[in-house]
Amino acid sequence: GASGRTWRRKQDRAGAALASNAISGDHRRYLALGGRGFLLGDGRLNYRRELIVEGYYTVHFWRGLFGSLVLQHINNPGYNRDRGP
């Protein structure tokens, strides 16, 4: 992340992250055949990699009081092209 010193708010912080997740071929085939798992498996899987972009800003208000704003966007949640935005 970045320190707020750059914009004269030394206790503020900002950051961003990118992630690209995949599952193994065996797991993909199991889910495509209608298998179910703890977090995945709601029918036939139309597989695509899960892509995540996230950003945050933490602001220091006063004497140890902080607040944060977090934004997150996920393409193909649950590795399923039929889900998501």
pLDDT (tens, 9 = 90+) of the chain, 85 residues, equals 899 998 999 999 999 999 999 999 998 888 888 887 777 766 677 889 999 999 999 999 999 999 999 999 999 998 888 876 6
pTM (two decimals): 0.76
**Which domain range does residue 73 map to?**
2-79
- 61-67 long-range contacts (CB < 8 A, ≥24 apart) are 66/11
The Cβ of residue 4 has, within 10 Å, a number of other Cβ atoms equal to 17
84 occurs within a structural domain: no
- Sequence letter at residue 47: Y
85 occurs within a structural domain: no
Query: Which secondary-structure segment (H or E) carries 8?
Result: none
18 occurs within a structural domain: yes
How many domains is the chain partitioned into structurally? 1
